[in-house]
């Protein structure tokens, strides 16, 4: 079955109307319905375009609102400017048209509109979508939003049948259906970008096999770790981000269409048919819940915020490592910028901006939380404000992921500088404590013995490996000649053996897992 997400060009069939809706049930797509039906008699594409162009030329004329039957006055220009949403919600046009096609097919299947009306609606929506894609559709502010722009343009184009499209539907269930469809696709785009970053990090790890770097806690030297282990930590975090997005997608994939304003309808619609046609799991059970809650957007923005936090931490680490004080990595010129006044500067600006833009993504979540916290059931116009934070969050996180992957593929780790920095900080102290535990010394006693050994090194300005065996035995006689197999960062790395640790064999297993999972050659 072809999906509505990628509708083909309209097929003009000569099949008789008697074939209409044969064997069509919940799994029917709008496209397949159209292929079985007689096409409407319409003006040529050029004539239709001319007619729309002529109508678009009268933008300054205020037309009667589609909801304006009981109103005697037009809204003021200030109110119109303040309440319009077309300036940002027009990007939902493909999803709005998709939902309208599914709705029209269902109305015809249920006998609420004729097959001919359905076909004229579908062809008219195709024409409008082509005009929007070609940049030839003029969005009118006096038509308020994406839904009214498309419906009014459809009425201009095909006349009376377009007025039947809104049967058993409200803008309340229409907009939240559009939004769920949009979020579903946005999640897929973000997951793909996360995958690209994971691949970039794994490739960076593969290029730097065996490189030992200082591991930090409290931003203080702690223990030696393999760089591969550190990079794979970010890969693991990003994998959980993918899991959160997929879980969010599963929960949002229920169809509000047909909930109408809040209470449903008395007309004999088939919500299971539209839900199935649009690729949803099922219709939403409660019509009030369907139109009033935006928890699916909140969950999406929460998942984005966690991704942004992870990327910000990566950015912070790499900005530090690129400084003269660390000098652990050098970004290539292609991912660096300079100073307008200091000619020697080479700044890792992309990752600084990743760190900075995380605040926008987190701010979008906070905006929507505050927006929703005081709203009574059911729909309230406040919810018009959900889209800009959502759109900005998705745009920002996609950019952050893209540039992080680009940066990862264009940096060089400074092995010599890192090796020179490794002796500082007594990174092998915990491994020495493990040595004593293996000798039967209680860990707390071992901790104290190693602490006194470090204090002796500090007084002599040397490393633990620089202490003579007699010096160590002077602290505790438990020390033997084999102690030197545990001292130094290389020996220390080789002693790690627990599952998930930074030991060479453990990290090799982790790396193999990700190379296989991400299908990296």
- pLDDT tens-digit series, residues 483-506: 999 999 999 999 999 999 999 999
Locate tokens 């999406």: which residue? 300
State yes or no: is 109 an active-site residue: no
pLDDT of residue 71: 56
Closest by CA position to 106, among listed 330, 267, 335: 267
Q: Which of 70-84, 273-287, 346-360 has the lowest mean pLDDT?
A: 70-84
- CATH number among 3.40.1390.10, 3.40.50.300, 1.20.200.10, 1.10.357.10, domain 178-417: 1.20.200.10
State yes or no: is 218 an active-site residue: yes
Of 6, 14, 44, 218, which is the active-site residue? 218
Q: Is the pLDDT of residue 127 over 80?
A: yes
Query: Strands 220-226 and 212-217, how do they pair?
Result: antiparallel
Mean pLDDT calculated for residue range 464-472: 96
- Please state the pTM of the whole predicted model: 0.85
Tell me what the pLDDT averaged over the chain comes to. 88
pLDDT of residue 69: 59
Q: Who wins on pLDDT, 76 or 154?
A: 154
What is d(CA 292, CA 285) in angstroms, rounded to the nearest whole number?
13
Q: Are 103 and 125 in contact (CB under 8 A)?
A: no
What is d(CA 152, CA 66) in angstroms, rounded to the nearest whole number?
8
- pLDDT tens-digit series, residues 282-297: 999 999 999 999 999 9
Mean pLDDT calculated for residue range 504-511: 96
pLDDT of residue 169: 96
421-518 carries CATH number 3.10.290.10: no
Task: Grade residue 345 by pLDDT with cuts at 50, 70 and 90.
Answer: confident
Domain boundaries of the chain, sorted by first residue = 85-167, 178-417, 421-518
118-123-126-132 Cα dihedral, nearest 10 degrees: -110
User: Which neighbouring-strand residues pair with 330?
Assistant: 412
Of 339, 359, 497, 513, which is the active-site residue? 339
Structural class in CATH, domain 85-167? mainly alpha
What is d(CA 356, CA 335) in angstroms, rounded to the nearest whole number?
17
pLDDT of residue 9: 39
Closest by CA position to 390, among listed 353, 358, 365: 365
Cis omega (within 30 of 0) on the bond before 378?
yes
Q: What percentage of the chain reaches a pLDDT higher than 90? A: 78
CA angle at 322 for the pair 320 and 328, rounded to the nearest 5° = 95
- pLDDT tens-digit series, residues 360-371: 999 999 999 999
What is d(CA 75, CA 69) in angstroms, rounded to the nearest whole number?
13
- pLDDT tens-digit series, residues 203-233: 999 999 999 999 999 999 999 999 999 999 9
- pLDDT tens-digit series, residues 401-441: 999 999 999 999 999 999 999 999 999 999 999 999 999 99
Task: Grade residue 336 by pLDDT with cuts at 50, 70 and 90.
Answer: confident
Q: Who wins on pLDDT, 244 or 342?
A: 244
């Amino acid at each position: 079955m072809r999906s509505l997400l990628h509708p083909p060009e309209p097929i003009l069939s000569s099949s008789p109307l008697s074939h209409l809706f044969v064997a069509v049930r919940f799994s029917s797509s709008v496209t397949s319905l159209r292929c079985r039906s007689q096409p409407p008699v319409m003006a040529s594409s050029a004539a239709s375009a001319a007619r729309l162009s002529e109508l678009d030329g009268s933008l300054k004329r205020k037309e009667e609102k589609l909801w304006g039957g009981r109103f005697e006055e037009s809204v003021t220009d200030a109110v119109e400017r303040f309440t319009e949403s077309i300036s940002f919600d027009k990007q939902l046009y493909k999803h709005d048209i998709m939902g309208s096609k599914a709705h029209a097919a269902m109305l015809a299947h249920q006998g609420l509109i004729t097959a001919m009306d359905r076909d004229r609606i579908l062809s008219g929506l195709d024409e409008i979508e082509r005009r929007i894609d070609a940049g030839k559709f003029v969005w009118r502010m006096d038509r308020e939003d994406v839904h009214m722009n498309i419906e009014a343009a459809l009425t201009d184009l095909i006349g009376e049948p377009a007025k039947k499209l809104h049967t058993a539907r409200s803008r309340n269930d229409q907009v939240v259906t559009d939004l769920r469809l949009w979020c579903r696709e946005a999640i897929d785009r973000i997951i793909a970008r996360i995958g690209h970053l994971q691949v970039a990090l794994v490739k960076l790890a593969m290029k730097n096999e065996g490189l030992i770097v200082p591991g930090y806690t409290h931003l203080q030297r702690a223990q030696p770790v393999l760089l591969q282990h550190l990079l794979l930590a970010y890969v693991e975090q990003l994998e959980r981000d993918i899991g959160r997005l997929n879980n969010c997608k599963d929960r949002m994939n229920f169809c509000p269409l047909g909930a109408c304003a809040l209470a449903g309808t008395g007309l004999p619609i088939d919500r299971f048919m539209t839900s199935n046609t649009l690729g949803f799991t099922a219709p939403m059970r409660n019509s009030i819940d369907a139109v009033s809650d935006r928890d699916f957007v909140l969950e999406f923005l929460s998942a984005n915020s966690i991704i942004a936090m992870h990327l910000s931490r990566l950015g912070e680490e790499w900005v530090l490592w690129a400084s003269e004080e660390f000098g652990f990595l050098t970004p290539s010129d292609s991912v660096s910028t300079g100073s307008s006044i200091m000619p020697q500067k080479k700044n890792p600006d992309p990752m600084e901006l990743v760190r900075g833009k995380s605040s926008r993504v987190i701010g979008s979540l906070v905006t929507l939380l505050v927006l929703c916290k005081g709203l009574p059931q059911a729909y309230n116009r406040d919810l018009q404000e959900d889209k800009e934070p959502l759109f900005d969050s998705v745009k920002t996180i996609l950019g952050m992921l893209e540039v992080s992957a680009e940066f990862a593929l264009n940096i060089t780790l400074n092995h010599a500088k890192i090796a020179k920095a490794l002796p500082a900080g007594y990174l092998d102290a915990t491994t020495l404590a493990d040595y004593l535990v293996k000798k039967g010394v209680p860990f707390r006693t071992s901790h104290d013995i190693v602490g006194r050994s470090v204090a002796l090194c500090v007084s002599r300005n040397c490393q633990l490996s620089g202490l003579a065996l007699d010096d160590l035995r002077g602290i505790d006689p438990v020390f033997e000649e084999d102690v030197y197999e545990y001292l130094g960062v290389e020996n220390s790395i080789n002693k790690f053996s627990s599952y998930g640790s930074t030991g060479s064999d453990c990290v090799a297993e982790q790396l193999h897992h990700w190379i296989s999972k991400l299908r990296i050659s």
